[in-house]
Structure 1
């Protein structure tokens, strides 16, 4: 039976992060490409190149055996970190071009900022894994929630704007989720600014429990919307892949919150 040690934890967590986020980065490349105007050929080519890079990274991450040498994963993390740094720079360049009205297309500035924040998060996580400087539990709880609650609020806004206006009930639901997650984000930012005094076990437990309820509701809404889009039962300009993409991110956040709940329960 395989012994479970710190090297195993490093390997497992590294591969888990890369397998999840490399697919996300790959899909970001596609979404950006689809939002460019047809004459923006250089940007389209760059997006295609990043799609291929992260598709290869995803394949490599899936191919590693469970007993892989941790040094190989350390080196792989470095390689992925470089790729993520480049796609982050590409996304910020695109954001600047849009805001300065140098390109048109259908990419919302907030969406481009959103995907660049996710690249920065992924890059930071790889740095933490390779240096061994992961956040202590009380800091991780607040940091992860501040990051992901904003991501979830953004998703609700994007869904709201990409649904056909005639889908009034779904539009209203998306707007309500946007408001709810803005409020949850403000609460998380308040808890953040009160650190370290706010990092008591009762407060963090309540914080995680409250957010889990809301994220679960949003995850279920996204799943319903995804299924309806795939079955062509609602009117929208949301590609099925994008609907699945935001559903997977909500599910990922819920897994993080579940893990926090377990860790806080067993914390002294």
Structure 2
């Protein structure tokens, strides 16, 4: 059973990453509709604002509680997040809560002793329950939207695969919060198999989305995206084979780590290029920063899995 301290810290770290992810998913969906689908726009906006509020409450009790590793990994925010939010708000007219990013910049890690475990535990349990309710609603929304897009009832500039992609991420978030609420002590070896399969597929799809959103004249970037897509497709298959014990997990972890380092640098360069208006595309800068944070999140997980593998 998970200790109270680990329950609090793991919950807040999970939310710092995923709550921002969910609010940005809502933003990407909101910005992708035509004016005809005002109901879908309004629903996405409501989810975005609700996740803003949840993230504010998470940040307000995270100082000194979450690990320095998380804060330094670039998965909660990056040096580009604030500028990417400002640019994307300018392009879309959506008022993005940049104050949350400024608050996160001030967070410090690892001085747990100044907090009351009992009070924090109560607050975290309430946040977890709110996250479960909100995320379940967002999953239903994404599922309904995907069905309407596939049956040609709704048009959006977001690919059907992207809607499915962000729905899978929401389902992962829901599952992880539920496991924390049940105080489940996570088996890191089992987690490595599942997470590497999941995130290698996510990285492959990021590369394919980028390929399709770049201007057709951006030949070099399109080719690089294609290559990353193929590489992570292969790694996804290797992770599946590792589940069946036909490939050593340590090899998949090492290969995934190297590939994720490379795609992370590619995403960082892309985010900078978008902010500096040096890349021709239909990509809002916040999407570049968003997928950079996802690569950073996966890198931190892979470092943990590598350490576990070395101890065995």
Q: What TM-score, normalized to structure 2?
A: 0.80
Structure-2 separation of matches of 1:45 and 1:206: 46
Structure-2 separation of matches of 1:213 and 1:83: 35
Q: What is the aligned partner in structure 1 of residue 288 from structure 2?
A: 243
Structure-2 separation of matches of 1:76 and 1:188: 33
Q: What is the aligned partner in structure 2 of residue 86 from structure 1?
A: 137
Q: How many residues align?
A: 257
Structure-1 separation of matches of 2:166 and 2:148: 15
Q: What is the aligned partner in structure 2 of residue 265 from structure 1?
A: 310
Q: What is the aligned partner in structure 2 of residue 37 from structure 1?
A: 34
CA deviations over 1:188-214 (Å, ceiling 9, x no partner): 11222x1xx569xxx222221111000
Query: Which stretches of structure 1, 4 residues or more, deviate above 3 A after TM superposition?
Result: none
Secondary structure at 1:244's aligned position in 2? helix
CA deviations over 1:76-109 (Å, ceiling 9, x no partner): 2111111000001100110000000001121110
What is the root-mean-square deviation in Å for CA atoms of aligned residues?
1.4
Unaligned runs of 5+ in 2: 66-114
Quick check: 1:154 aligned with 2:205?
yes
For residues 79-158 of structure 1, the aligned pairs below 5 Å read 79-158=130-209
Q: What is the aligned partner in structure 2 of residue 234 from structure 1?
A: 279
Contact persistence 2:242–2:252 (CA under 8 A): no
Relative contact order higher in (CA < 8 Å, ≥ 6 apart): 2
Instruction: Identify the range of structure 1 (60-69 vs 173-182) with the bigger mean alpha-carbon deviation.
Output: 60-69
Quick check: 1:167 aligned with 2:218?
yes
TM-superposed deviation, 1:234: 1.3
Secondary structure at 1:165's aligned position in 2? coil
Q: What TM-score, normalized to structure 1?
A: 0.92
Secondary structure at 2:184's aligned position in 1? coil
Unaligned runs of 5+ in 1: none
Contact persistence 1:138–1:204 (CA under 8 A): no
Structure-2 separation of matches of 1:49 and 1:29: 9
